[in-house]
Copies of this chain bind each other. A is one copy, B any other.
Amino acid sequence: MANDTRQRILEACSICIARDGVRGMRVQDVCKQAGISTGLVYYHFTDRDGLLAATLEYVNVDSVAQREESIAGGNESYGLLRELLLAEIQDDEFVRAKSIVWNEIKAIAVFEPPLAEHLAGSTAAWQLHVAELVSGHTGTEVGQCQETALLLTSLVEGLSSRWLSNQLDSAAARAALERGMEAILPANA
């Protein structure tokens, strides 16, 4: 029950951020969107920063789900890696909303160290997962694949930001990402 409410608030917060940005996100709008009282938001998340940090984790849940799924993979690391990276740029309302939340929090983290810490944690988890798949693909130890994973995830973020600001459509951004993957990944398999 409490978990349901929490989930509902986080979903509402994602929708509000995707629509108005973090600048325009007001706790009272999130409450209205979720159909609950402001007291409940403060009960679950303490304050606005707590709500933002939890929303970052919430939009990151998808990646965690994909992570667990792909552990089963093994031989098909390249396909899974390609899928994982391309999943960030898609003409899908929820994917776009999630990317906007991520993009907003990245920008604001520059000015808010507690948010930057949460962001660093989420990014590191994603990057480690990418390194594991690179390792599966190349047969190199995971530790040695971190540099490649840094390049791949940074490229995804750079292209995603071009896509979100309509400098590239999703097809062009995805095509560029595929070319980037080919260039950055070591050639062996």
Given known A-B contacts A183-B184, A184-B184, A165 and B23 have beta carbons under 8 A apart: no
A147 in contact with B179 (CB, 8 Å): yes
**Which residue from B104, B111, B120, B165 sits with its C-beta under 8 Å from A120?**
B165
* Complex interface: stretch among A53-61, A74-82, A149-157: A149-157
B155 in contact with A151 (CB, 8 Å): yes
| Nearest B residue to A119, CB-CB | B165
Q: Does A161 contact B (CB under 8 A)?
A: yes
Cα A106 to Cα B108 in complex, Å, equals 12
| Nearest B residue to A111, CB-CB | B21
A15-29, CB under 8 A of B: which get 1 and which 0?
A: 000001111100000
Of residues 149 through 178 on chain A, the ones whose CB sits less than 8 Å from some CB of chain B are 150-151, 153-159, 161-162, 164-168, 176
Of residues 69 through 110 on chain A, the ones whose CB sits less than 8 Å from some CB of chain B are 100, 103-104, 106-110
Would you list the 10 A-B pairs with minimal beta carbon distance, nearest first? A154-B158, A158-B158, A107-B107, A157-B158, A109-B165, A23-B23, A110-B164, A183-B184, A154-B159, A21-B111
* 29 contacting pairs across A/B (C-beta < 8 A): A21-B111, A23-B23, A23-B108, A104-B107, A106-B107, A106-B161, A106-B165, A107-B107, A107-B108, A109-B165, A113-B166, A116-B165, A116-B166, A116-B167, A150-B168, A150-B176, A151-B176, A151-B180, A153-B158, A154-B155, A154-B180, A155-B155, A155-B158, A155-B180, A158-B158, A158-B159, A180-B184, A183-B183, A183-B184
Question: Could you list which residues of chain A lie within 8 angstroms of chain B, going by C-beta atoms?
Answer: 20-24, 100, 103-104, 106-111, 113, 116, 119-120, 123, 147, 150-151, 153-159, 161-162, 164-168, 176, 179-180, 183-184
